[in-house]
Amino acid sequence: AQSVAQPEDQVNVAEGNPLTVKCTYSVSGNPYLFWYVQYPNRGLQFLLKYITGDNLVKGSYGFEAEFNKSQTSFHLKKPSALVSDSALYFCAVRDRMTGGFKTIFGAGTRLFVKA
Amino acid sequence: DAGVIQSPRHEVTEMGQEVTLRCKPISGHDYLFWYRQTMMRGLELLIYFNNNVPIDDSGMPEDRFSAKMPNASFSTLKIQPSEPRDSAVYFCASSLWDPQETQYFGPGTRLLVL
């Protein structure tokens, strides 16, 4: 069965420091991996995705994520955090072999960036 | 494009009443998804449609929940009768036909059942 784990409920970081939001996954085949962000009272917004190719994926707002097949991880990173990055972040996975369009979301990690 | 449109944005109702949530997907998108978000259970996929046909409704919690998509530009999620435990934020999302494509989410409907 597909699953996604975001081991941290909350990540705190000072503005200007690098940030990492962790995600590990479990699928039977090769995954499509996504990161979404949710601001208060809003729907989820797409940040970036891994489909194939280069393991380092660059996305919106300066975010990037690294696909690590051996560790089954897809951690979200940003070199220098902004206060405006404070939001709820979701990792999501689709099993390209069996899952079709069914997307499994992690529980979410709340990022708090302090000025 | 205006993005995914959901209505109402907020709904307060009493237990036992029927609730209907509405969604207009992005024009040209082939897939439509209904999700429910709660603090306890996170984001759950309820059902999704391809070209107006329900593909997977295994996430629909019980028979009180039903969803329809009568045409490519409109879908409803109905709860009858509603219960306090149905209180949540319900999101609609749509995407193009390719599984590589991202989903575009609407702003959500915040439902409170008293």
> pLDDT tier at B29 (50, 70, 90 boundaries)?
very high
Other C-beta atoms closer than 10 Å to the C-beta of B39 total 6
> pLDDT tier at B31 (50, 70, 90 boundaries)?
very high
> pLDDT tier at B98 (50, 70, 90 boundaries)?
confident
Q: What is the pLDDT of residue A95?
A: 78
Residue A75 forms contact with B (CB below 8 Å): no
pLDDT of B38-50, one tens digit each? 988 889 999 999 9
Question: Beta A10-14 vs A109-114: how paired, if at all?
Answer: parallel
Task: Tell whether the model's pLDDT for residue B81 goes beyond 80.
Answer: yes
- Taking the CA of residue B21 and the nearest CA in chain A, the distance in Å comes to 15
Contact B9, B22 (CB under 8 A): no
Q: What is the pLDDT of residue A98?
A: 65
pLDDT of A56-83, one tens digit each? 999 999 999 999 999 999 999 999 999 9
- Alpha-carbon distance B25 to B55, whole Å? 17
- Taking the CA of residue B106 and the nearest CA in chain A, the distance in Å comes to 5
Residue A94 forms contact with B (CB below 8 Å): yes
Which DSSP symbol is given to A105?
Answer: E
Q: How far is CA A107 from CA A22, A92, B66, B110, in A?
A: 12, 9, 25, 19
Interchain CB distance below 8 Å, B93 and A45: no
Contact A105, A38 (CB under 8 A): no
Residue A26 forms contact with B (CB below 8 Å): no
Q: Which of A94, B103, B86 is nearest to B77 (CA)?
A: B86
The residue ranges of chain A whose pLDDT is under 50 are none
Interchain CB distance below 8 Å, B99 and A32: yes
Helix, strand or coil for residue B85?
helix
DSSP sequence for A21-41? E--EEE-SSPEEEEEEEE-TT
Mean pLDDT of B19-39: 95
> pLDDT tier at B1 (50, 70, 90 boundaries)?
low
